[in-house]
Structure 1
Amino acid sequence: MPLNLDAIDRRILRALQRDGRLQNLELARQVGLSPSPCLRRVRLLEEAGVIERYVALVNPLKVDAAITLFVRVWLTGQDEETVDRFTDAVRELPQVLECHLMAGDCDFLLRVVASDLEAYRQFQIKHLARIKGVQNLKTEIPMQKIKLTTELPI
């Protein structure tokens, strides 16, 4: 259930989404609060689970993860054992950044990173295709990144 956020909470969240390393003094200045109430609000947002964690966004080109691929996955069945086996295996693969259970044509949609197409091909052969219960994989290769954001519209 969504929390009832006021305008100040929303300003805090927008500012922290842009820069999670903002010092409390600067955050308070940006949202129009004094430091103590600002810090109290941030802690309440953290405790309520609105702010889950803080992360560093890494440039994939600088760490040999130059390409992103989207992989549609079809399983041999949608029974609990098959789905659990697949999701457990995918959670162990650091190349898989996102895994979504889908309604519609495929069973899962993955976002995968690799250094190049050959590295992805080897990953697909040695890991994805070997997960018991995987019936079919279709890889989509994006031509151009138009938009990528981590900021939610708050």
Structure 2
Amino acid sequence: MATKLDAIDTRILNALIRDGRITWSDLAEEVGLSVTPTMRRVRQMEEAGVIRGYGAHLDVTRLIGEMPVFVSVTMERQVASALAGLERAVADLPEVMSGHLMSGTQDYLLHAYVRDMEHYRSLLDRLTQIPGIAHIQSSFVLNTFLARDAPLLEPSTRR
């Protein structure tokens, strides 16, 4: 169930998206409230699960590699043990940033980063060792034109 947000909540969230380390006083000034009601609203959104946490944004291209790749995985059989085994194995691959169980023709879509084709071949070799995989197909990203850490919020956004 979606949480109802008013215009001030939306301004708070947009400010926190831009700078998660903003001071209470700067946040309050930006949204037009005093510090106490600003803190109260942030805590309410934390308790409601709208704000799940705070953290550092790391540059994956500097840590792993500059080549993003999407890897589609089709399983031999969609049985719980095979799916769980793949999910456990993929969770241990540092190159994989996200993994999604999908509907449609592929069973899984993995988003990974590699340094170069040799690094990709190494990742592919590790993936092919996972039991139950029938088919792997990869697509390399040519250009990223949009990447967000959070949705755009508008004051009129109400659910």
Q: Per the shorter chain, which TM-score range?
A: over 0.9
CA distance in structure 2 between the aligned counterparts of 1:67 and 1:84, rounded to whole angstroms: 27
1:131 aligns with 2:130: yes
Contact 1:68 1:111 in 2 (8 A): yes
Residue equivalent to 2:25: 25
Backbone CA RMSD of aligned residues: 1.3
Aligned length: 153
Contact 1:14 1:151 in 2 (8 A): no
Residue equivalent to 1:72: 72
CA distance in structure 2 between the aligned counterparts of 1:10 and 1:139, rounded to whole angstroms: 38
Contact 1:72 1:108 in 2 (8 A): yes
Q: Once the two structures are superposed, what CA deviation does each residue of 1:38-67 show, in whole Å capped at 9, x if it has no partner?
A: 111111111211111112222234324211
Structure 1: any 5+ residue segments left out of the alignment?
A: none
Contact 2:98 2:111 in 1 (8 A): yes
Deviation at 1:32, TM superposition (A): 0.9
Letter in 1 for 2:103: A
1:135-154 to structure 2, matched below 5 A, reads: 135-154=134-153
Percent of paired sites with the same residue: 37
Residue equivalent to 1:4: 4
Structure 2: any 5+ residue segments left out of the alignment?
A: 154-159
Residue equivalent to 1:54: 54
Residue equivalent to 2:156: none
Residue equivalent to 1:39: 39
User: What TM-score do the two structures reach when normalised by structure 2?
Assistant: 0.90
Q: Once the two structures are superposed, what CA deviation does each residue of 1:77-97 show, in whole Å capped at 9, x if it has no partner?
A: 111111111112112222111
User: What TM-score do the two structures reach when normalised by structure 1?
Assistant: 0.93
CA distance in structure 2 between the aligned counterparts of 1:21 and 1:116, rounded to whole angstroms: 34
Instruction: Return 86-95 or 27-36, whichever deviates more.
Output: 86-95
Deviation at 1:106, TM superposition (A): 0.4
